[in-house]
Amino acid sequence: MGTDASTSADQLAILHELEKKVLWLASWTIHHANHLRESTDDLKVGGHQASSASLATIMTALYFRALRPQDRVAVKPHASPIYHAIQYLFGRQSRQKLEDFRGYKGAQSYPSRTKDTDDVDFSTGSVGLGVAQTLFSSLVQDYVRAHGWGLERPEGRMIALVGDAELDEGNIFEAILEGWKQGLRNCWWIIDYNRQSLDAVIREGLWARYEALFQAFGWDVVILKYGSLLNEAFSEPGGERLRQWIDNCPNQLYSALVFQGGAAWRRRLLDEIGDQGPVTRLIEARSDEELARLMTNLAGHDLPSLLEAFGKVDHDRPICFICYTIKGFGLPFAGHKDNHAGLMTPAQVESLRKAMHVRPGHEWDKFEGLSIAPDTLQTFLDHVPFTEGARRHHAARLPAPAQLPVTIQPVMSTQAGFGALLNELGREQTELADRIVTTSPDVTVSTNLGPWVNRRGLFAREKLADTFKSERIPSTFNWDFSPKGQHIELGIAEMNLFTLLSALGLSHAINGERLIPIGTLYDPFIQRGLDALNYACYQEARFILVATPSGLSLAPEGGAHQSIATPLIGIAQDGLAAFEPAFVDELAAILVFAFDYVQRAGESESSERNWLRDETGGSVYLRLSTRPIEQIKREMTPELRQSIVDGAYWLRKPGPNCQVVVAYTGAVAPEAIQAVGLMAEDRRDVGLLAVTSADRLNAGWTAAQRARERGLVHARSHIEKLLADVPSHCGIVSVLDGHPATLAWLGAVHGHRVRPLGIEHFGQTGSIPDLYRHYGIDANAVVAAAATLTPGRPIRHLKALP
């Protein structure tokens, strides 16, 4: 299973040359990006330099030798210049983009699946997320293959290049725990153990903690510490003493000596272990330069050691490689603790240029200054295993149903509706239903996924029967695990939920097999996994997120369990279409849309119909509620279905003399309806606007405005059309169980006065009526707002507000 372990001397010589070239190209790219310094943050440009150099050798060994096309890699954010340089040598990155590194439409600062054009596998940038994503991608690969899909393609390894300080991020450890539970395979994490973070040199002996930790979770740990030069020196007389000295040398001191160079090494070593005997001879036999090369010959910068270690792996167990490296290796500030922001001065770049034999004006030439003939190098590059095979896959779209059957109870919550809809889906043998995979961080049952799971089973690579069932103990739930199961049970960590959704939602591109992932969690805990959600969207993973219960309607749960900000997240999060239906028939229409929308990948032109970028597709967020509300008996017409998806419709169309419109979202529908009834006698032609997606309404509105500003004078968004006939003197009272700003912008569409009601402060325990009254989103509050907003006689049914 390993790549051909042996690397010939010729190949090794070529790889050494490429290693140098990669470092040069990356350094030149960063130097070039300095033209942006005036307008950007020096410290951040510099962040790439030393950090990249640290990984140059490891990435050379991987990309030019060890990787196969089916492998996928998450590259440490600051190593992006090395990544882009390697792709440049493969002919997959343009010189222009390198010259524009960090500039407009240039190669991205941090590797990006979507913004870069050179085949990035996982977007990284927020440290820790890319690392965990490889683990979950590996689980997804197993899921796909266990279902009998994609077996004609070889199994890939999911590999993360991890900064040692990156391991401070807790989400990595949450992932490790989940990986252990799920029987993780085919996952390599290669730790760039340069013992430096951004600000500091790391604690002594951290590697030993990592070793114990990874082993505890079933990983193999391979420590790559000494390079081949050091190993040879250790076998000389006095060598053992040198090894002991290195092993005991504090990280800070080692770094400082690396920075100071050969003479400093000599002084220090002779002072501390010089014996006028073999050790002294070992040291004295080397020039300053040779001594510096020896002492910095850590395995992470030693191609033979790395090639051997990677090449000899012949199993699929997860492996953590701890590779000793030097931050800034090969550059003037190697080892300096301040080097994170280290930008080379023009003079330093000049001396690097000389050392690399690069002539002025030939900085971008691929083989400039190398001692092997260009033809030989090109032939080698043309046959690198990594480039011999397709890497980005496509999967056909699955037909989405035109409608979803569901029995709607007279009184029902959207969460119960969701459970019923999935239960119906689970009953049918459709291609779509077979490709749905659900997951939930320990809230499967409490988010109403139970009936679906009963039908479709839990996923595990090995069968595992539900003991309660085999013991004939009555239980509502059948918790059988099998390779054909369609629900992935997760532990509580929400970061893992979002990272798994990200991995599942990229399966069409990574595994060539489409999945329709649905993840459920409690709405307030979106914030716990928000960064992972953001990165999932950023890399265009496709999934449906069902967040329930939500808001104050979680009443007795109290305080911070009641989400306030999530509707605004729904509006602001790119790549995520957010909906908050009130009724189950709305939810069914939205789900139909969602099954199709998550599979779209067209051009991003706005459609004239609603001014949304619907062809682009994206993920979907459904904010649902446990509050049972009276359902409306009605026929789902195509127009209604379309309006629900576009974001709003008139539940009661305002008449020509309308004085007030109530616009509501979600679970407060009964309050809005009741308020309209209470006002009917004292305000004319009151309108009731059901807003199913503030997000899509708002996006369409801003897009239509932009289109008009660009000359498309007839552009009209859905909300502009809906409010077009509402008289200008009319007021709008908006209300939702979430932050009032979600709907406050409605007044700006045509200049209506608006009074936005919603939740601004943490709630407390209580019943729904208690809390709605307390926070001012009950029918009385709506009527009071309307009375104040619009002139006219007192509204008789307005009770005294508490």
Ligand X SMILES: Cc1ncc(C[n+]2csc(CCOP(=O)(O)OP(=O)(O)O)c2C)c(N)n1
Contact residues: ligand X, CB under 6 A: 51, 54, 77-78, 125-127, 163-166, 192, 194, 196-198, 327, 340
How far apart are the C-alpha atoms of 480 and 482, rounded to whole Å? 7
Task: Write out the binding residues for Mg ion, residues 722-781 only, by CB under 5 A.
Answer: none
Q: Residue 328 corresponds to which tokens in the numbers above? A: 């800034």
Q: How far is CA 184 from CA 167, 179, 200, 408, 681, in A?
A: 19, 5, 33, 41, 66
Task: Write out the binding residues for Mg ion, residues 196-215 only, by CB under 5 A.
Answer: 196
* Nearest distance, CB of residue 552 and ligand X, angstroms: 31
* Nearest distance, CB of residue 127 and ligand X, angstroms: 4
Q: Which of 323/488 has CB closer to ligand X?
A: 323
User: Among candidates 390, 372, 233, 214, which has minimal Cα distance to 302?
Assistant: 233
Q: Contact letters (x/-) for Mg ion, 138-177, by CB under 5 A?
A: -------------------------xxx------------
* Nearest distance, CB of residue 31 and Mg ion, angstroms: 22
Question: Which residues, 6 or more positions from 635, have their beta carbon under 8 angstroms from its beta carbon?
Answer: none
Q: Which of 110/664 has CB closer to ligand X?
A: 110
* Nearest distance, CB of residue 66 and ligand X, angstroms: 20
* Nearest distance, CB of residue 52 and ligand X, angstroms: 8
Contact 436, 425 (CB under 8 A): yes
Q: Which does 127 bind (CB under 5 to 8 A by kind): ligand X, Mg ion, none?
A: ligand X
* Nearest distance, CB of residue 298 and Mg ion, angstroms: 13
* Nearest distance, CB of residue 676 and ligand X, angstroms: 47
Q: Which does 141 bind (CB under 5 to 8 A by kind): ligand X, Mg ion, none?
A: none
Q: Which of 127/598 has CB closer to ligand X?
A: 127
* Nearest distance, CB of residue 583 and Mg ion, angstroms: 53
Count, residues near Mg ion per rule CB under 5 A: 5
Contact 79, 55 (CB under 8 A): yes
Stretch that binds Mg ion, among 68-76, 186-194, 543-551, 685-693 (CB under 5 A): 186-194
Q: Which of 41/284 has CB closer to ligand X?
A: 41
Backbone φ and ψ for 388, nearest 5 degrees, come out as -95, 75
How far, rounded to the nearest angstrom, does the alpha carbon of residue 669 sit from its chain's CA centroid?
34
Q: Which of 195/752 has CB closer to Mg ion?
A: 195
Q: Which of 163/756 has CB closer to ligand X?
A: 163
Q: Which of 53/221 has CB closer to Mg ion?
A: 53
Q: Which does 78 bind (CB under 5 to 8 A by kind): Mg ion, ligand X, none?
A: ligand X
Q: What is the DSSP string of 67-115?
A: --TT-EEE--GGGHHHHHHHHHHHT-S-HHHHHTTTSTTSS-SS--TTT
- Among 29, 123, 194, 507, indicate the residue that binds Mg ion (CB under 5 A): 194
How far apart are the C-alpha atoms of 226 and 299, rounded to whole Å? 5
Q: Which does 7 bind (CB under 5 to 8 A by kind): ligand X, Mg ion, none?
A: none
Q: Which does 100 bind (CB under 5 to 8 A by kind): ligand X, Mg ion, none?
A: none
Q: Which of 110/772 has CB closer to ligand X?
A: 110
The alpha carbon torsion through 105, 107, 113, 119 (nearest 10 deg) reads: 120
Q: Which amino acid is at 444?
A: T
* Nearest distance, CB of residue 149 and ligand X, angstroms: 34
Q: Which of 166/586 has CB closer to ligand X?
A: 166
* Nearest distance, CB of residue 203 and ligand X, angstroms: 12
Residue bearing tokens 């509501």: 664
Residue bearing tokens 């899921």: 143
Q: Residue 207 corresponds to which tokens in the numbers above? A: 């590697």
Q: Which residue is nearest to ligand X (CB)?
A: 163
Q: Residue 226 corresponds to which tokens in the numbers above? A: 């000494």
Q: Which of 93/197 has CB closer to ligand X?
A: 197
Residue 629 CB-density burial (10 A; 0-12 exposed, 13-18 middle, 19+ buried): buried
Q: Which does 337 bind (CB under 5 to 8 A by kind): ligand X, Mg ion, none?
A: none
Q: Which does 51 bind (CB under 5 to 8 A by kind): ligand X, Mg ion, none?
A: ligand X
Q: Which of 163/524 has CB closer to Mg ion?
A: 163
* Nearest distance, CB of residue 92 and ligand X, angstroms: 24
* Nearest distance, CB of residue 51 and Mg ion, angstroms: 7
Q: Residue 488 corresponds to which tokens in the numbers above? A: 């992935």
What is the strand order of the sheet 576-579 is part of? 481-482, 458-459, 487-490, 436-441, 516-521, 544-547, 619-623, 576-579
Q: Which of 77/731 has CB closer to ligand X?
A: 77
Q: What is the DSSP string of 243-302?
A: HHHHHHS-HHHHHHHHHH-HHHHHHHHHHHH--SSHHHHHHHTS-HHHHHHHHT-BGGG-
Q: Which does 488 bind (CB under 5 to 8 A by kind): ligand X, Mg ion, none?
A: none
Question: Which residues, 6 or more positions from 202, have their beta carbon under 8 angstroms from its beta carbon?
Answer: 164, 165, 195, 196, 251
* Nearest distance, CB of residue 206 and ligand X, angstroms: 11
Q: Which does 198 bind (CB under 5 to 8 A by kind): ligand X, Mg ion, none?
A: ligand X
Contact 335, 328 (CB under 8 A): yes
Q: Is 255 in the site for Mg ion (CB under 5 A)?
A: no
Q: Which of 125/677 has CB closer to ligand X?
A: 125
Which DSSP state fits 423? H
* Nearest distance, CB of residue 196 and ligand X, angstroms: 5
Q: Which of 202/309 has CB closer to ligand X?
A: 202
Burial 686-714 (b: 16+ CB within 10 A, else e): bbbbbbbbbbbbbbbbebbeebeeeeeee
Residue bearing tokens 């290693």: 19
Strands 516-521 and 576-579: unpaired
Q: Where are the beta strands (DSSP E) in 124-207?
A: 158-163, 187-193
Binding site for Mg ion (CB under 5 A): 163-165, 194, 196
